Structure 1
Amino acid sequence: MFRRLPESDTATLRFKIDGRPATGRAGESVAAAMLAAGVVTCRTTPIGGQKRAPYCLMGVCFECLVTIDGIGNRQACLIPLTEGMDIRSQDGARDMAGEPVTEAAP
């Protein structure tokens, strides 16, 4: 679905998406690397569990929130890809420490 521009002389970077190995290019955002690797869903919504994907790709909409190297709620469109990154999709609501919320607050 998404294709990169023709090959360039930029460095190839290895990273993981939800535990699966992938490659990207130096200078790409995490969101661009995910889309090029065929991963279009970054997170699910807290209520209803609808799948969400990068939308604006400029940091305005917050649809591309992912966990990067154990830190949750990172905007994938604003974070440059680096070698060895561990990127995880987010499912539903998160507490302030980035842990999934298992019960609704009273």
Structure 2
Amino acid sequence: MIRLVPNQSDQIERSGLVTFSFEGKPVQGHAGEMLVSALLRAGYLNLRHAPMDKAPRGAFCCMGLCQECAVRIQGQTVEACRTEVAENLIVERI
């Protein structure tokens, strides 16, 4: 038997909003959340292009195993699912 629990989403306390940029456009996220979450919430599904056929790629495993969410931050390639949102972060597609 499944017990239904009332919606308690209004009781969740979020950290403050910070602004970072993705491909030169401002995006807001909550300080400390994973970059991939903020990008997906903002509607960015294509985070990079595949090296061989340039097909759009995005979040897949969301735990750092597949590298499908790889982006470039200050010249370094990082996984968006393992990188925290921070103020003034400059994120680019690979």
The match for 2:75 is 70
2:33 to 28, 31, 36: 28
The match for 1:83 is 87
Gaps of at least 5 residues in structure 1 are 91-106
Structure with more contact order per residue of length (Cα contacts < 8 Å, sep ≥ 6) = 2
* TM-score after normalising by structure 1: 0.74
Q: CA distance change for structure 1 residues 83 and 50 in 2, over 3 Å: closer, same or farther?
A: same
Higher helix share: 2
Q: CA distance change for structure 1 residues 29 and 9 in 2, over 3 Å: closer, same or farther?
A: closer
- Distance in 1 between the 2:24 and 2:45 partners? 16
Deviating beyond 2 angstroms after TM superposition, the runs of 4 or more aligned structure 1 residues are 5-9
SS in structure 1 at match of 2:39 = helix
Gaps of at least 5 residues in structure 2 are 1-8
Deviation at residue 9 of structure 1 after TM alignment: 4.0
Aligned residues between the structures: 85
- Counting aligned pairs with the same residue, the percent is 31
Deviation at residue 68 of structure 1 after TM alignment: 1.1
Matching of residues 3-22 of structure 1 within 5 Å: 8-22=13-27
* TM-score after normalising by structure 2: 0.83
